[in-house]
Chains A and B, each alone.
Chain A
Amino acid sequence: GENVEQHPSTLSVQEGDSAVIKCTYSDSASNYFPWYKQELGKRPQLIIDIRSNVGEKKDQRIAVTLNKTAKHFSLHITETQPEDSAVYFCAASITGTYKYIFGTGTRLKVLA
């Protein structure tokens, strides 16, 4: 079955710096890759997603890149702010299925 690995598990950056979180997936049939942000004790919230027919997508300070050949995708956050501090999860969904396979999460801490 599909397996998603996520790195790093923790990441500390200075306010204003960029943060990059990387995920790899195992099943080449995966074609949808959402990213969720989860603050402590709260629900996961979708922040950006990408489909396999696209290589890059950007939404203000957040961008996601996808390399289908290498089977990895990355989240990029620029000009980080303290409110970006949270746990970020990547996920992959295989064509023809509906379930998400999540990575293990990255705890991002933005230092003021």
Chain B
Amino acid sequence: NAGVMQNPRHLVRRRGQEARLRCSPMKGHSHVYWYRQLPEEGLKFMVYLQKENIIDESGMPKERFSAEFPKEGPSILRIQQVVRGDSAAYFCASSPGQGNQETQYFGPGTRLLVL
């Protein structure tokens, strides 16, 4: 049973470019979460999605950031016009979606570096 998959693992962008991060949840999981981890810091919640729905985006910056989880295919976290402060590790997690307080399983992360 494959775990949570993320790609790319490393992404380098110049300021002003767009970054697209992909996350495929574990098989059978319908809930996806995105977290951001700055160097030497903890994980900060960004957004929680179910298939075709954004449930909670309270942690996501209002501008330049967007997320989707389409009916088919992976969840996408999109950052437009990246700035140096966007450099971080972005982790995706998934859970089965069968109730509250489920264990979330994390992917390997995408390390974004903005030059």
Residues of chain A having any CB pair with chain B under 8 Å: 6, 31-32, 34, 36, 42-46, 49, 51, 89, 93, 95-105
At the interface, yes or no: B1 with Cβ under 8 Å from chain A?
Answer: no
CA–CA, A96 and B103, complex, Å: 14
In the bound assembly, the distance between CA atoms of A89 and B30 in angstroms comes to 24
Considering the complex, give the chain A residue whose CB is closest to the CB of B50: A98
In contact, B108 and A44 (Cβ under 8 angstroms): no
What is the bound-complex CA distance between A49 and B42, given in angstroms?
18
**In the complex, which residues of chain A have a beta carbon less than 8 angstroms from the beta carbon of B105?**
46
Residues of B within 8 A of A (CB): 4, 31, 33, 35, 41-45, 48, 55-56, 58-59, 91, 95, 100-109
How far does the alpha carbon of A101 sit from the alpha carbon of B44 in the complex, in Å?
7
List 19 other contacts, CB 8 Å, given A45-B106, A99-B59.
A6-B42, A32-B100, A34-B103, A34-B104, A42-B108, A43-B107, A44-B43, A44-B91, A49-B103, A89-B43, A93-B101, A96-B100, A97-B56, A97-B100, A98-B95, A99-B45, A100-B45, A102-B42, A102-B43
Q: What are 20 A-B contacts with C-beta separation under 8 Å? A: A31-B101, A32-B101, A36-B106, A43-B4, A43-B109, A46-B104, A93-B101, A98-B48, A98-B55, A98-B95, A98-B100, A98-B102, A99-B56, A101-B45, A102-B43, A103-B42, A104-B41, A104-B42, A105-B41, A105-B42
Enumerate chain B residues within 8 angstroms of A31, measured Cβ to Cβ. Answer: 101
Q: Please give, as numbers and ranges, the residues of chain B lying within 8 Å of A104 by CB-CB distance.
A: 41-42
